Chain A
Amino acid sequence: MLSRYYNLVSTERFLVGTSLFRIAAGLLLLYHYLIFYHQRYFLYSAQGVNDYPADFIKGTFSLYNFHSSLTYFDFIYHAGIVVAFLYLLGYKGRIISVINFVFYYSLYVRMFQISDGGDNIFIICLFFLLFANCSAYFSIDSLAASRRSSREGSFRHVLATLLHNFAVVCCIIQLCILYLFSGMYQLMGELWQNGTSMYYIAQVREFSRPMFRSLTENFLELTIVMSYASILAKFAFPFTIMSKRAKPIIVGIMVAFHIGIAMNMGLLSFSFVMIILELLVFTDQEYKRLGKRIVTHWRSMELQVRRRTRRWGHARLSSHRIAVFFDGWCPMCRGIKNSFQRMDYFRLLQWVNFRDTAAQTYGIAPAELEQRMHSMSLSEPYIVRSGIHSFIQMTLRLPQLWLLVPALTMADKLRIGHIVYDYIASRRSLVPVNHCDEDSCQIIYTR
């Protein structure tokens, strides 16, 4: 039994969740630093609204406590922003996690009145996650790690995995405690028992936005049902996350619940923290299964869209079709052709390899085709364009590239488009294909 328990806790299983949490937490930290940038002195400095007496300075750790000058304050504040950004990128995972925690904790203890339950659980979980590997995926560290040999199985690795798993479990238990106790406190309150609590909260402007006020004015019964549902969901959470099947459902409910709180009560960062903590409850296997499902679903959706847009394009946009003459010997050109073909939802581009003999039927001189990419409209008046103009014609037919059109048009008007195009086209490398017989290949030197 001990062996089974050991195997359970020493197997890597929460790496994707912690990595996603790191990104979300990093974004939240940066948001916090930047949204209060102009009010930073007022909120956190010794010259602000809060008085930081000697007993506070003595009894609380904060980097901001070491000096009361605004220059020093600014240095720490800006260093905090840089560290939060590095944390977001997942650079030097554990070290930056510790430094980031020190910087954010320093700010947290000075928040006083503006902090809420979200900041409270956030700082606790950030502490637990100091012992976790939060940069295994989607990080600079993960890119570097893929180049290094694995240390899997070593004492250090197993110990790190143990600490990681326990850290995540601590965050999950902490989340369950929050839900369970806040649900219990709700049950103890008379207004929560009779379902009128939301009616009262909606009248307090600090915690109610116009949507909430309108909801209680027009759908009072719904708010009564919702206040009971919130208690039920909070009680259900700790028990349902044990079940693999029920977990996504309860997490979905809690995410919807917190989006509702953000929109109606205006508790933005609280709701965001509660939502991102839900990322930790899923195992790597569950994330990978979800990833596969999303890819499969995405592909089938894309196929359906392609079929429909192709049909629609054929019926409505056929007059806009163009033939694009590309160099089949140039790997870069073939790569661009493949990418553009994937984006060509309306089938408006007909690709012609000018190295094929069939290209000659279009009546454009092969020497010109070799020099620049050409395009030709496939309906009257069969306009032929070349170089940057062909490129612009293609981007006009691919909605994903519409953002490039103004820049390309501008480059054309300024007469730098042609120069850049010709430079790239002249330096393209060529690998001739279909020139091989059984014994040898004929190499054609083009320059």
Chain B
Amino acid sequence: MSARRAGLYAITMILTLAVVIHFLIIALHAGPVNPISLRYKAFTDRYTSHLFQQNWHLFAPDPVSHNLRLYVKVRYVKEGDSQLAESEWFDVAAPMLDRNDQTLFSPYNRLVRVHTGYIHHLNLGGKDDLTYRLLSKTEERLGDLKREDVLKEDTTVNRAEEALYRYASSYAYSVFRTERPVMVQFKVGQIAAVPYSKRKDSNHQQIEQQTLYEWREITENVIPIL
């Protein structure tokens, strides 16, 4: 066997080995949680943290079953007026959802996910749902620490709240172009889907659970959304 051929054989074997090892790590990282994947979680998370990060839950095991809404209220100063006026609540996503119903080929096809993504982070933090299931199962080990406490410590939640204030500010700048927006407030609405068993029950009412966030000064270094 020539040196050239031996070299190519060696490269082939190295590549094969690399592919096998890589996808073993990926399988451990992306597959359902099990004792083996938990044992190597720190390593697999580090390995996949940049380029090979992946999550193939894709509406599973539990598909989305809540409509999330973002409402924004603005305090603004009219031109030539020193009085502070207050707007009604704006349903930010409703026009975008309508537009997305009309056509797939518009930026709103993805823009509708911005606020829902951040609201999910507000509710769940930076952890995936499966990790939360594990957390809730081992809650006794956490002592007095509750899910809410974990969330409070989670920087993702704080960043999501910050981003929603930026979103609200951006929206305020879009709507009040001639006035001067000064403060924004937002509230998050959550409406559960009609359960399958109640789908024919005309008396069933969908209740929107709302969480109100405080007034805050408008974020200045933000571009209008539209």
Contact = CB atoms under 8 A, between A and B. Distances in A.
A203 interface: yes
Interface centre among B19, B61, B111, B199 (most CB of A within 10 A): B61
Contacts of A340: none
Contacts of B19: 166, 169-170, 173
Given A5-B12, A162-B8, A189 B62 contact: yes
A148 interface: no
Contact of B65 (A42, A46, A121, A204): A204
Chain A contact patch, size range = 35 or more
B202 to A, nearest CB: 14
B67 A200 contact: no
Contact of A204 (B11, B67, B111): B67
A184 interface: yes
B104 A36 contact: no
Contact of B117 (A48, A113, A155, A192): A113
B193 to A, nearest CB: 4
Interface in B82-128: 93, 97, 100-101, 104-107, 109-118
A188 B32 CA distance: 9
B107 A36 contact: yes
Interface residues of B, number: 68
B42 interface: no
Contact of A182 (B12, B57, B224, B225): B57
Contacts of B50: 60-61
Interface in B171-226: 193-194, 196, 199, 221-225
Interface stretch (A74-82, A205-213, A390-398, A402-410): A205-213
A202 B162 CA distance: 30
Given A189-B61, A204-B193, A209 B101 contact: yes
A389 B22 CA distance: 69
Contact of A181 (B30, B115, B118, B199): B30
B56 A117 contact: yes
A124 B51 contact: yes
B163 interface: yes
B170 A49 contact: yes
Nearest to A48: B223
B58 A39 contact: no
A66 interface: no
Given A47-B223, A48-B223, A49-B222, A203 B111 contact: no
B57 A162 contact: no
A114 interface: yes
Contact of A192 (B52, B61, B196, B221): B61
Given A51-B162, A199-B196, A266-B104, A121 B110 contact: no
A85 interface: no
Nearest to B174: A42
Nearest to B169: A49
A201 B67 CA distance: 10
Contacts of B12: 5-6, 9-10, 162
A38 interface: yes
Given A47-B222, A49-B167, A162-B15, A121 B54 contact: yes
A177 B58 contact: no
A312 interface: no
A206 to B, nearest CB: 5
B70 to A, nearest CB: 11
Interface string A37-63: 011011101111111010000001100
A263 B105 CA distance: 11
Given A113-B113, A200-B193, A185 B60 contact: yes
B60 A204 contact: no
B40 interface: no
B146 interface: no
Contacts of A268: 104-105, 109
Nearest to A198: B63
B4 interface: yes
Contact of A188 (B61, B114, B194): B61
B131 interface: no
Given A112-B117, A114-B110, A204-B64, A159 B104 contact: no
A177 B52 CA distance: 13
B105 A185 contact: no
A186 B67 contact: no
Contacts of A113: 113-118
Interface in B113-156: 113-118
A341 interface: no
Given A51-B166, A117-B58, A6 B222 contact: no
Nearest to B64: A204
A10 B8 contact: yes
A127 B54 CA distance: 14
A367 interface: no
B43 interface: no
Interface centre among B27, B50, B54, B66 (most CB of A within 10 A): B54
Contacts of B116: 113, 206
A120 B23 CA distance: 16
16 contacts: A50-B166, A116-B113, A120-B55, A159-B11, A162-B12, A166-B16, A174-B23, A178-B56, A181-B32, A182-B58, A197-B63, A200-B63, A204-B67, A205-B67, A209-B100, A209-B104
Given A173-B19, A201-B63, A207-B64, 16 more contacts: A5-B12, A6-B12, A9-B12, A36-B110, A42-B170, A42-B225, A48-B166, A53-B159, A117-B56, A170-B19, A178-B56, A185-B32, A189-B63, A197-B63, A201-B65, A204-B64
Pairs A-B, 10 closest by C-beta atoms = A113-B117, A189-B61, A185-B60, A203-B193, A188-B61, A200-B65, A186-B60, A114-B110, A41-B223, A182-B56
